[in-house]
A and B are shown apart, each in its own frame.
Chain A
Amino acid sequence: MRHAATSVFSELASEAFRDAMRRRIVPVIVVFALLSLLAVDSCTSCAGSSQIVRGGEQVSVHEISGWAGMLIFTVLSLWTMVLAGLLASDHLAETVFDGSANLILARPVRRSEFALARLAGALGIATGTGAVVLTVSTYLLHLRNGVSLGAAIWAGLACVAGALVVAALAMTLSLFLARIATAMSVLFFVGAITFVNVFTLFGASLGRLGNILQHFTPPLCTAVVVALQPWIAPVVPDVDPTIMALKLGFWVVASVLILLATFQKRELGS
C-alpha cells in the first residue's frame, strides 16, 4: 500500500523548503528585509511628529500615522507577494527542465503532491520573511503611532493569500516561459494590478481597460488596503470587505487549480 499521502507531502514540502533555503538569493532577501526594517524604523519615528495642514486645518497626528502605517504595510505586503512570485518562478520549472523531477515522480508520488510541495517551499520562504518584516513593522507602528493590531492580522492574511495567488500563477507560467520572462511577468502583473487597485480605490476612473483589470484580476493591493481601513478612518474606500475576501478566496482556489491542472497535463522529458 502507498504510504500516507500526508507523509509523502511533508517529506516533499520539507525538502522543497530546504531547497529554497539553499538558494543563493536567500542572503539577498535577508539583507533586503533588514534594510526594509531600518526604513520602517526611520519612518515610524518621524510620522508621529509630522505636521500637515489641509484646508487651513491641521491634520491630526493620528490620521497622518494611519496613512503612513497603511502605506508601509501595503508596500511590504506587495514586496512579499513579488518575492513569492520570483521564488516560485523556477522552483518547479527547474526540476522539470533539468529532469530531476522525473526521479521523484518515478516514486509513488502524485504530480499534485509534488507541485504543491514545490509551491509550499517557495511560499514558505516568502511568507516567512514577510511575516517577520510585517510583524516587526506593525509592532513599531502600534507602539509609536497607536494603530490597531486587529486590522494588521486581516491585512497579513490578505498578504499571504495574495502571495499564494502570485506564486501559483508564476509557477504555472514558468512551465511555458524562461525564468527571466516569468520573473518580468510577475513584476508587471503585480505592478499593473497595484496601479489599477490604488487608483480605483480612491475614486479615479481608468477607463474600460482599467475597469476590466479591476474586476477580473486578483485584488492584491485592494484586499490589504481594505483590511487596514480602520487605520485611515474616517476615510472609507468604497469596497465591501466581504466581497473582497470572497474574490481573493476565489483567486486562491483558482490559481492553485490552474497550476495543478497544467502540471498534470505536462509531458515530462527524460
Chain B
Amino acid sequence: MFALELVGVTKCYGQRYALRDVDLSLATGSALGLLGPNGAGKTSALRMLLGFTKASAGTVRLQGLSPRDPASRIGVAYLPERLTLPGRMTVLSFLRHHAALAGLHGAELESDVEAVLEQTGLSARALNRLGSLSKGLIQRVGFAQAFLAKPKLLIFDEPTSGLDPIGVRDARDWILAARERGCSILMSSHLLSEVERTCDQVAIIDEGTLVARGGIDELVEEGETLEDAFVRLVRR
C-alpha cells in the first residue's frame, strides 16, 4: 500500500518541463527524502500531490485517491517551504482553526492543541499574534499545525528552513517521533545530513528527471557521504 504515488508524471509550465516522466512512490510507514538542486522540480511534485496543480501527463495518487478529492487529504499534514501565516491571528486561534479543519472538536481539539503547543515549545507564545513572531517561531507554528490530529502522512518542503541549530535538532526529534508512531513522511530538503538522519529512502531529482531512487545504503558508495553521492548523481 502506497501513501502516495506518482506514475509517469510530467509537468510543463509553457515550454518548460518542471517534471519529466517521474515515477515515485512512498510505502506506508516509510520516510522518503526528496533531494535535488534548486529548480529541480521537488516543489512541483509536492504541489501536485496536494492537488494545488495538475499533472500535464501521468497519474498522481494520494492515499490511493486523486489529490483533488478532499478525502485523499484526511490525515495528511503539510509544511510548505515559504510559510505565510495570517498575521492578525494568534497562535492559539490559528491552531484551533486548523485542528477544527483536521476534524477535531470539543475537548479533543483543546487537548490536542495544548499538546502540540507543549511539544513545539510554543505554550508561552499561545496568545501572541502570528505577525509578531520571528521566522524561527513561525516555522515552529508550522510544525505545530502539522502535528495536529496525529497525521498519518507528513509532507514537508524544506522543513528546517529558518530554524536555529536548536530548532533544527528539535525538528529532527519531532520527525523521528512521528516516524516511530508509524507516520509516513515525504520530505524535500537541501540539508542532506537531516535527510540522512530522518529518512530511510531518498529520491534525487535533477532538471525534472528522477536520477536515482533507493535506500541511502544503496546509493552511497564505499567511502562516500550522502553529499558526495548526491553531487556525483546530479552531475552525471
Q: Is the CB of A108 within 8 A of B77?
A: no
Q: Interface residue count for B (Cβ, 8 Å)?
A: 34
Residue B98 is within 8 A (CB to CB) of chain A in the complex: yes
The answer to whether B145 and A108 have CB atoms under 8 Å apart is: no
Q: Which residues of A contact B145 (CB under 8 A)?
A: 103
* A22, B71: Cα distance in complex, Å: 32
Interface contacts (Cβ under 8 Å), in number, total 79
A15 (CB) vs chain B CBs: closest residue: B97
Which residues from chain A contact B80 at a C-beta distance below 8 Å? 99, 102-103, 270
| Distance, CA A109 to CA B97, complexed state (A) | 13
* Most-contacted residue by chain A among B51, B70, B98, B145 (CB, 10 A): B70
CB of A270, distance to nearest CB on chain B (Å): 5
Interface string of A7-46 (1 = CB under 8 A from B): 1100110010001001000000000000000000000000
- B140 interface residue per 8 A CB criterion: no
Quick check: is B191 within 8 A (CB to CB) of the other chain?
Answer: no
| Residues of chain A from 41 to 57 with CB closer than 8 A to chain B in the complex | none
Tell me how far the C-beta of A165 lies from the nearest C-beta in chain B, rounded to whole angstroms: 27
Q: Is B199 among interface residues, defined by CB-CB distance under 8 A? A: no
B54 CB-CB contact with A under 8 Å: yes
Q: Does B57 contact A (CB under 8 A)?
A: no
| Residue from the set B54, B71, B103 with the largest chain A CB neighbour count within 10 Å | B103
Q: Which one of B84-92, B177-185, B205-213, B221-229 is at the A interface?
A: B84-92
From the candidates A2, A11, A98, A103, name the one contacting B71 in the complex (CB within 8 A): A2
Chain B residues, CB < 8 A from A109: 70, 73, 101
Contact A108 to B71, CB < 8 A, known contacts A267-B52, A267-B54, A268-B52: yes
* Interface size bracket, A side: 20 to 34
User: Taking the complex as formed, is A110 at the interface, i.e. its CB lies under 8 A from any CB of chain B?
Assistant: yes
Q: How far is the CA of A103 from the CA of B86 in the complex (A)?
A: 11
Query: Are A107 and B84 in contact, with the CB atoms below 8 A?
Result: no
Q: By the criterion CB–CB under 8 Å, are B76 and A3 in contact?
A: no
A107 CA to B78 CA in the complex, in Å?
Answer: 8
B157 contacts A270, CB within 8 Å?
Answer: yes
Asked if B133 is at the interface of the complex by the 8 Å CB criterion, the answer is no
The interface bits of chain A over 77-90 (1 if a CB of B lies within 8 angstroms of the residue's CB, else 0) are 00000000000000
A262 within 8 A of B: no
Can you name 9 A-B residue pairings with CB atoms under 8 Å?
A99-B82, A100-B84, A103-B98, A104-B101, A105-B51, A107-B73, A108-B74, A270-B43, A270-B47
Extra 5 A-B pairs, beta carbons < 8 Å, given A19-B89, A102-B80, A105-B50: A1-B74, A98-B84, A105-B52, A106-B50, A108-B70
Which residue numbers of B lie inside 8 Å of A, CB to CB?
Answer: 43, 46-47, 50-54, 70-71, 73-74, 76-78, 80-86, 88-89, 97-98, 100-103, 105, 145, 155, 157
Q: Which 7 interchain pairs have the tightest Cβ spacing?
A: A106-B78, A268-B52, A107-B101, A98-B84, A22-B88, A108-B70, A267-B53
